[in-house]
Structure 1
Amino acid sequence: MPRLSSDPNLSICPDYAEESIDEDQAIIILRNIWLTGNNADKAQWQNQVEEDAEHCQHLERLHEEERERQDQDHIDEDEAAHKEDRKKNKFKYTSIPSLDVPMKPVIIPSAYAICKLDKGGYVELWYFTNAGLDDAKLKSSVDEDAMAMEDASWPDDRITMMAKFWRNLQVHDFHSMRNPLAQKSLLVYQAEQRKCWHMAVKTAAGAYDLSRINEILLERMRNDIYLEERKKQDNQHDYKVSARNPYSIH
């Protein structure tokens, strides 16, 4: 059945009496014919309105189902990416035990030596000597520190630990001292301990709570910095003396 172009409920019956029809019977017949057609058009219009509404609801349901499917796809993709990240970077998700900062940092060979060992390859003995281990310590780097922790999807306990670590450094007595060597010791401490922590996580020693400031190590750090600064000043003094008196003997 063809669609109606206008609502028959709004149609008005023409006045057949003005069409030069004299007989009342003819007027009644024509009126009835119009009413019958109009009623049929009303019924068709109502069916048409209901069909259009049902079609719109069907399309809306399809759109909603598609949105739900896309949302679920995104959730599944995020979960799969998270599982893959945990698989590839298992050390990033290591839980943080309630342990103090160790007195001695974990010493491990270079990443090159460890990789060769994992593959069963030959590794020169030098990498396990004091010189090789010292070289590995100097060249070690922490890739995760180059990224924002939340953007890198760090676990909440690790983010909390790092936040407490920086907060404890900010409120430490050394931070408010006017002695620049005390403040420098905090800077050196945080740099070395963050590096040691990341190295320890990947070893059998495991992780610990970095936010617990090791006061003994910090005091040792300040003493070392003080001795280094004193040695530097002594060297500068000796240089000035020798410059004034090139024939002096030290």
Structure 2
Amino acid sequence: MDEFCEREMVGPFKGVSSAVDSQSGSDRLEDEEAEHRQEIEAEAERQRVLLAEQEAAILEDRKKNKSKYTPIRNTDIPSNPVILPCQYAIRKMKSEDYCELFYFTNAGLEETSRATFTADEDALVMLPTSDGLHKWIPAGAARDPKVHMLKDENLTWEQFNEAAPCMISVMRENDWLDDRIDMHVAFWLALQNHRWWHDFNAHKQRALLLYQAQQQRRWHLSIGSSNSWSLAKINQDLLNKA
């Protein structure tokens, strides 16, 4: 009787236990599969972030080292050497800061070709300061003290006509915004086509160059502020005062 009761009682519980074990195994399998999916998704996200970081690093490197990624042109070696502006002028163009036109004239380019100033723009050079002391500064941020630089207002019209197209080319090479390049083209063409340029009065011709120098500096100082303006049109009132 006792054995019979025991069998009768144990039988149903064994079935329940088997069902519980089966359910536990199924839950465990689902948990493992969910965990595996999470690992796959996490790895995919990690790879996506890594790829994005690599692409961003390459893009930044392309910006900093344009020459490294510039394709080689399938042209013969030029008979005459290509003379580039000095590192000081190049750095100014890269940062879109004001730079004197002299560095883009034939005389300025010739000075660069003869200069012994270091070609490494990050190298430090010691130069005298306005207070009579000497200071270490990056070569690319310094003017070569041996170069006799002319201010824009002291250029001849011939030198101005040499420099303007050369500077426009360097602007394009350094990815200036199209509207800024177009503004400079319009500005300089307006000066060249102004009636004073053809005037017999030499003072009026000089006034155009002085106006160019003054307004070019003012415009660069205004960049980024709410008071910026376009140089494209000549302000005759300011020109009369130049």
TM-score, length-normalised on structure 1?
Answer: 0.41
Rg (Cα) greater in structure: 1
Higher-strand-fraction structure: 2
Higher relative CO (Cα under 8 Å, sequence separation at least 6) belongs to 1
TM-score, length-normalised on structure 2?
Answer: 0.42
